[in-house]
């Protein structure tokens, strides 16, 4: 049974702001969400990873199959490849409607390993992505917060290259308008949750800054601009 309030990315898909969805879920939830997508008239493809399932939701069966095929090329196979190929990752990012600058930042991270920092140390991928995006940001805009302390879905469906990335904020504004039109009170709750400071520890644990270890990446999101 799928009882969550409609997350922003679903409303973005329905409003035509986003071409397709890629949802990583536990297998039961994946099947419930796929059934909900099919009831709404969307095409669905599933990719089982064992303990998790990826659900692709698109407007046509061909588009859903294309996403699935790209993922197959992007995922590491049973034997490590000699050379990292960014092409399927870029194509997947484009097919999901992510800004090219953010896809570039993502590809640069996974080219060295999602859990490998620029200096070769190991850390959780959220810590690395958040630290690198913060370093590129002149200001932290809560509309680009995808690291809510309670793991609530943000307005964005991708990790932004920076927390003031212009195409990400323009997209967020369109999604916010769609969510406000659907559920103004829910949108206000989400806006407030995303405007809270969060600290991400190197192991990926999220907490309020006061409760975080000294080496955590602190994202001091304030009120949205």
Give the whole-angstrom CA distance, residue 152 versus residue 71. 25
Q: Residue 99 or 224: which CB sits closer to Zn ion?
A: 99
Q: Are 64 and 34 in contact (CB under 8 A)?
A: no
CA angle 84, 114, 53 (to 5 degrees): 95
Specify the residue for token string 């932290």.
140
Give the whole-angstrom CA distance, residue 216 versus residue 78. 34
Examine residue 103 and tell whether it contacts Zn ion (CB under 5 A). no
Q: Are 122 and 115 in contact (CB under 8 A)?
A: yes
Specify the residue for token string 């302390």.
149
Neighbours of 57 (CB within 10 A): 25
For the bound state, the minimum distance from the C-beta of residue 105 to Zn ion, rounded and expressed in Å, comes to: 7
For the bound state, the minimum distance from the C-beta of residue 101 to Zn ion, rounded and expressed in Å, comes to: 3
Of 5-13, 96-104, 120-128, 174-182, which part binds Zn ion (CB under 5 A)? 96-104
Examine residue 219 and tell whether it contacts Zn ion (CB under 5 A). no
Q: Is 78 exposed, middle or buried (0-12, 13-18, 19+ CB in 10 A)?
A: exposed
Q: Residue 71 or 141: which CB sits closer to Zn ion?
A: 141
Neighbours of 72 (CB within 10 A): 11
Examine residue 21 and tell whether it contacts Zn ion (CB under 5 A). no
- Strand pairing category for 21-25 and 53-58: antiparallel
Given candidates 102, 130, 149, 217, which one binds Zn ion under the rule CB under 5 A? 102
Size of site (CB under 5 A) for Zn ion: 5
Given candidates 95, 101, 180, 218, which one binds Zn ion under the rule CB under 5 A? 101
For the bound state, the minimum distance from the C-beta of residue 168 to Zn ion, rounded and expressed in Å, comes to: 5
Q: Residue 138 or 214: which CB sits closer to Zn ion?
A: 138
Q: Residue 102 or 175: which CB sits closer to Zn ion?
A: 102
Examine residue 161 and tell whether it contacts Zn ion (CB under 5 A). yes
Q: Residue 123 or 165: which CB sits closer to Zn ion?
A: 165
Given candidates 21, 165, 187, 194, which one binds Zn ion under the rule CB under 5 A? 165
Length of the chain: 225
User: Where do contacts with Zn ion occur on this chain (CB under 5 A)?
Assistant: 99, 101-102, 161, 165
């Amino acid at each position: 049974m799928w009882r969550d309030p409609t997350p922003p990315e679903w409303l973005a898909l329905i409003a035509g702001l986003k071409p397709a969805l890629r949802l990583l879920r536990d297998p039961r939830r994946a099947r419930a969400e796929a059934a909900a997508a099919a009831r709404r008239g969307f095409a669905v493809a599933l990719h089982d990873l064992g303990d998790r399932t990826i659900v692709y939701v698109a407007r046509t069966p061909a588009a859903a199959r294309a996403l699935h095929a790209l993922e197959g090329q992007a995922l590491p196979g049973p034997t490590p490849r000699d050379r990292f190929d960014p092409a399927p990752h870029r194509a997947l990012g484009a097919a999901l409607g992510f800004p090219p600058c953010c896809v570039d930042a993502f590809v640069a991270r996974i080219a060295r390993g999602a859990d490998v920092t620029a200096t070769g140390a190991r850390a959780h991928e959220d810590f690395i992505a958040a630290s690198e995006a913060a370093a590129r940001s002149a200001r932290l805009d809560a509309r680009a917060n995808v690291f809510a302390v309670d793991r609530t879905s943000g307005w964005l469906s991708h990790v932004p290259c920076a927390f003031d990335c212009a195409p990400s904020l323009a997209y967020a504004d369109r999604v916010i308008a769609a969510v406000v039109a659907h559920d103004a009170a829910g949108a206000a709750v989400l806006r407030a949750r995303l405007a809270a400071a969060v600290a991400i520890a190197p192991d990926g644990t999220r907490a309020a800054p006061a409760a975080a270890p000294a080496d955590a990446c602190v994202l001091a999101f304030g009120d949205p601009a």
